[in-house]
Structure 1
Amino acid sequence: MANSAGSRKRARQAVGRRAHNASLRSMVRTYIKKVRAAIDTKNYDDAQAALTVAIPYVDKMVTKGILHKNKAARIKSRLNASVVALKG
């Protein structure tokens, strides 16, 4: 365990920050799952709507440092390709 007062405070802050980050990560994963579920139903309109909702959340996680920018780009690209494949 940390010894100095400052490092004890840092340890306390890390616990709260970790919980907050986990919550945000879980939220964005839920939006991604909603897009994948819409893709599985093979309904283009629902999948497109779910993707439109999910993309801003993925981008927000990049600015907050929850996701790496390349991972976010990969997620968006794969979801978009799957949705476009439904249309064609």
Structure 2
Amino acid sequence: MANHKSALKRIRQSEKKRLRNRYYHKTARTVLKVLRNEEDKAAAAIQLPLVISLLDKLVKKNIIHKNKAANLKSKLTKHVNKLA
């Protein structure tokens, strides 16, 4: 266990950040799953910009890597365009 005041504070901060990042990441996975399982093209087209925006926010907060977000956005866009 840390002895310094600053080290104790850093432990508290990192735990809060870990939980927050975990929440954001889990939320993103859920939204991605919902969009992938969507059968209706109109509904998927409405959801796609919201999901892309969410991914961009996660990149900005360094929760996911920018290349991973780019790959996800590309695959999701292909999926939505492929729907009948």
**TM-score of the alignment, normalized to the shorter chain, above 0.5:** yes
Structure 1 gap ranges (5+): none
**Identity across the alignment (%):** 38
Alignment-derived partner of residue 72 in structure 2: 75
Q: Report the number of matched residues.
A: 84
- Using the TM superposition, give the Cα deviation of residue 73 of structure 1 relative to its aligned residue in structure 2, in angstroms: 0.2
SS at match of 1:53: helix
Alignment of 1:1-88 (within 5 A): 1-38=1-38, 41=39, 43-87=40-84
Distance 1:14 1:53 in 2: 29
User: Deviation of residue 46 (structure 1)?
Assistant: 1.3
Indicate conservation of the 8 Å contact 1:59/1:72, yes or no. Answer: yes
Q: Aligned partners of 2:3 and 2:77: how far apart in 1? A: 50
Q: Which has the higher contact order (CA 8 A, sep 6+)?
A: 2
Please list every run of at least 4 consecutive aligned residues from structure 1 whose deviation after the TM superposition is greater than 3 angstroms.
none
Deviation at 1:78, TM superposition (A): 0.4
Is residue 31–residue 54 contact of structure 1 (8 Å, CA) maintained in 2? yes
Aligned partners of 1:63, 1:52: CA distance in 2, in Å?
16
Q: What are the ranges of 5 or more consecutive residues in structure 2 without an aligned counterpart?
A: none
Q: Residue 34 of structure 1 contacts residue 50 of structure 1 at CA under 8 Å; is this kept in 2?
A: no
RMSD of aligned residue pairs (Cα, Å): 1.1
C-alpha separation in 2, matches of 1:76 and 1:13? 31
